[in-house]
Structure 1
């Protein structure tokens, strides 16, 4: 029987990311759904494509042989879809008589956590002439680039300076402490001062991890003992699983890794922050950015709808911390 597109996408995602959890994040679905697609693909082809290893899943020789063909098939469908979407967008723009308006948007975290696909789809619906250009970084970098006029708008975590930026709060994101397997007893019932003595994986000063932890340890009158520094959330979690030390992780990411990899977590040490959309105030925009003021207003209007308080009618409430790291995502 012929494999379907979702099965081939599942194979590519697992080959790229190495685990069901990360593949599910990249495909914006559950790990169970990815597992079912892979099982179906192997059943249809009558061969074993994956094998379990100590760190996740790896391709069998048969899987390695199939992978290039699967990638060609998925990319061909993607090109077909992009061509059709481009033709449709071109027709819409021409019918409206409007030129394309570039909008440079700073992103953090991963597409699923930002609901990026849903957000940009709604932006296209409201402003079909807008042409988003995405640049990925950490929260502090996004705020700095927005202030300097390098980004029209951007997502960030924390508490941006509302006197210098237009700020729209979107949702609450919870972080918890994560530690290597078997370290649960070293976390339970311990204060932040005791945790500071354990080895920590550090992140850049512009990251939300650093911004959340600095005042906590300052209030405890101590400093963390750091053993490594990383600028990607996926790398940070790999070091935690390898036994390097502690760090912070979004609660849903931590719970997933606890279930799949056995990492220790402490929800007792929870720290909440805010996901925001920021832009320069209209009064502070340069002439070039002022031309995109209407586009920025569209972004903020759409964000208010996509992240409206409470569940949407007929839909369950969504937790912003539900993950989906992008390939090589940056810390937030």
Structure 2
């Protein structure tokens, strides 16, 4: 059964005459007759009764006409959808993510991007700031999120916000370290950060500023793992406010008073792709979701 046969069936039913239907369809009358005959043979049903003035639907034809109209309407909807997609951006975007999705407003951004450009394929790769920066620099990622100062001239960044970090400790340490000075904090165990993590640099700067050199437990790459180690009682760790908010509210961890560090969060991308339509689409969606000044 072909779409053109259904179109002919509907036209004949509406006109009640083969000749008039043929004129509307820009076909010859024999062609219209042949299409109706082929449709009747395929369905095994007589669709029209011939009369002296033209044709009229059989009872079977009356029942099948709404179905044919529905199929034709669906085909027009598909055609209109295809026309609306013509000229849309296509391609695959590889995006590096870090930390928690809420920190990046990731869901809202990807939803905005996808609704504007439905033909884009989105692929995310979760990592840490240093690895995302390196992969963007090598063009293995089209863009990504990064916390800290970008040292590369061939990588551009769109500033999003300042991220605040707090010094977290196991809940059971809170009484012992209440009001502790930096010399005392320097004697405690700290959970080390991966050298590619922005937290590694922030922690090192904090130690230098206060002239301490604490013993580190390992080199942990993900904040979620660092948080779990703090919760388990292993040591102190610098963590973002978004990460510590819920466990702090539940009393699973505590914060060292007065210790606060900030660093910029940016969306980074290869500088040479500044005018790439795909990059422009990503930036436009970021401007909307983050309500950035134009």
What residue in structure 2 maps to residue 205 of structure 1? Answer: 195
Instruction: Label 1:107 to 1:255 Cα distance change in 2 as closer, same or farther (>3 A).
Output: closer
Q: How does 1:122-133 map to 2 (within 5 A)?
A: 122-133=112-123
Question: What does the per-residue CA deviation read over 1:61-84, in whole Å, with 9 as the maximum and x for residues that have no partner?
Answer: xxxxxxxxxxxxxxxxxxxxxxxx
What residue in structure 1 maps to residue 184 of structure 2? Answer: 194
Instruction: Label 1:245 to 1:93 Cα distance change in 2 as closer, same or farther (>3 A).
Output: farther
Shift of 1:139: 0.2
Q: How many residues align?
A: 216
What residue in structure 1 maps to residue 156 of structure 2? Answer: 166
- 1-structure distance, mates of 2:180, 2:236: 13
TM-score by length of 2: 0.66
Return the structure number with greater relative CO, CA threshold 8 A, min gap 6: 1
TM-score by length of 1: 0.59
Instruction: Label 1:225 to 1:293 Cα distance change in 2 as closer, same or farther (>3 A).
Output: same
> Greater CA radius of gyration, 1 or 2?
2
Alignment partner of 2:211: what SS? Answer: coil
- 2-structure distance, mates of 1:93, 1:180: 59
Judge conservation of contact 1:181–1:241 (CA < 8 Å) in 2. Answer: yes
What residue in structure 1 maps to residue 288 of structure 2? Answer: 305
Q: How does 1:1-332 map to 2 (within 5 A)?
A: 91=81, 95-98=85-88, 100-161=90-151, 163-282=153-272, 293-309=276-292
Task: Give structure 1 regions of 4+ aligned residues with deviation exceeding 4 angstroms.
Answer: 91-94
- 2-structure distance, mates of 1:144, 1:125: 29
More strand by share: 2
Judge conservation of contact 2:136–2:268 (CA < 8 Å) in 1. Answer: yes
Q: CA RMSD in A?
A: 2.6
Judge conservation of contact 2:96–2:127 (CA < 8 Å) in 1. Answer: yes
Question: What does the per-residue CA deviation read over 1:294-318, in whole Å, with 9 as the maximum and x for residues that have no partner?
Answer: 10111112112211259xxxxxxxx
